[in-house]
Amino acid sequence: MRPYKSFLASEMEDYLQYRSKNLGYKTMPARYHLLKFDDYLRKTEAGWHSFSPSFFLKMRAGLTMEARGINAIFSSIRSFFRFLAGRGYVDHNPLRDIPRLKKNVVVPFVFSPDQVDQLLKSVSKNIRTDSRCFFPDLSLYMVVLVMARCGTRISEPIKLLRCNYRRDDATLYIKRTKFGKDRIIPIPKKVVAEIENYLAARQTLRPNDKNPYLFAGREERSLSGNTVRAAFDKAVSDMGLKQSRKVLGNVSFNGPTPHSLRHYAEFRIMPSNSPQPGGLKLFGLSYSA
């Protein structure tokens, strides 16, 4: 990513280093957000005297994106100025009294049971039969299967180690989820059978396999999230379900994404008479709308 070029370039780099080394945060997406601010500083030829609330309101008005994206950018800028205030560069945070924009109501795409079955068949049909591609493609299918039947996030099954699969009690042990917690999730019997068949095929086709991951990629590596997304997108396209995100008024309708399988799994166990999704606590999902 290109470097910062405004008069605050060195302070922005110091801030990102502070977040990374002292707080343990990843560089992205804060680096990208501050790059938007850096561009605006250069465009307006701003200096230390420029930071009035109206300066930031004008910047916000010029951003052509949804409210959630604007709020994310301003959250990073707000944190940056909190850092500057702590270091004595400014005497207060100029974004302190600028409220967040009201976010659109987001309606996720939720597959029907028949569509999920069709999706899994489509991913299965795309498994290539040559010796180099067969097993990685089979692993891709298993990852999508676990996402659909167990409600995992895309990053969770690709990081599973062999020891995280517990056949005797039919569970998967997920270490360090999105919020840094460990959890154990149950596996349906049919999925257990598919995992056992997969492991038996792996033992036969790769007798000397030392890959530590449950669903192995090439050599001793895991599968990548981008590879799983590509397999999912191809299957969705083959089904004729591919569609982009649509915004009508203050409502955003999402197209199918790998995370849609998580929503499907959650709604599948939701009590029909419950005003709130009954599986939220199990899956770690929450809805404000």
Looking at residue 22, its pLDDT comes to 86
Q: What gap in Å lies between CA 175 and CA 181, rounded to an integer?
A: 7
Mean per-residue pLDDT, 73-87: 95
Assigned domain for 13 exists: yes
Say if residue 90 is in the same domain as residue 27. Answer: yes
Q: Is residue 210 part of a domain?
A: yes
Question: Are 132 and 34 in a shared domain?
Answer: no
What are the pLDDT digits (tens) for 31-70? Answer: 999 999 999 999 999 999 999 999 999 999 999 888 889 9
**Do 92 and 124 fall within a single domain?**
no
- Residues across the chain: 289
pLDDT digits (tens, 9 = 90+) for 161-200: 999 999 999 999 998 776 667 889 999 999 999 999 999 9
**Mind listing the pLDDT tens digit for each residue in 232-277?**
999 999 999 998 888 787 788 889 999 999 888 777 654 444 444 4
Query: What range does the domain containing 79 cover?
Result: 9-103
Range with top average pLDDT, 189-193, 207-211, 279-283: 189-193
108 belongs to a structural domain: no
Q: What is the pLDDT of residues 132-164, one digit of tens each?
A: 899 999 999 999 999 999 989 999 999 999 999
Same domain? 86 vs 158: no
Domain-embedded: residue 260: no
Q: Please check whether residue 284 lies inside any domain of the structure.
A: no
Average pLDDT, the chain: 88
Q: Do 74 and 173 sit in the same domain of this protein?
A: no
Number of domains in the chain: 2
Residue 227 lies in a domain: yes
Residue 229 lies in a domain: yes
The distance from CA 223 to its chain's CA centroid, rounded to whole angstroms, is: 16
Q: 199 near 118, Cβ under 8 Å?
A: no
Q: How far apart are CA 189 and CA 223, in angstroms?
A: 24
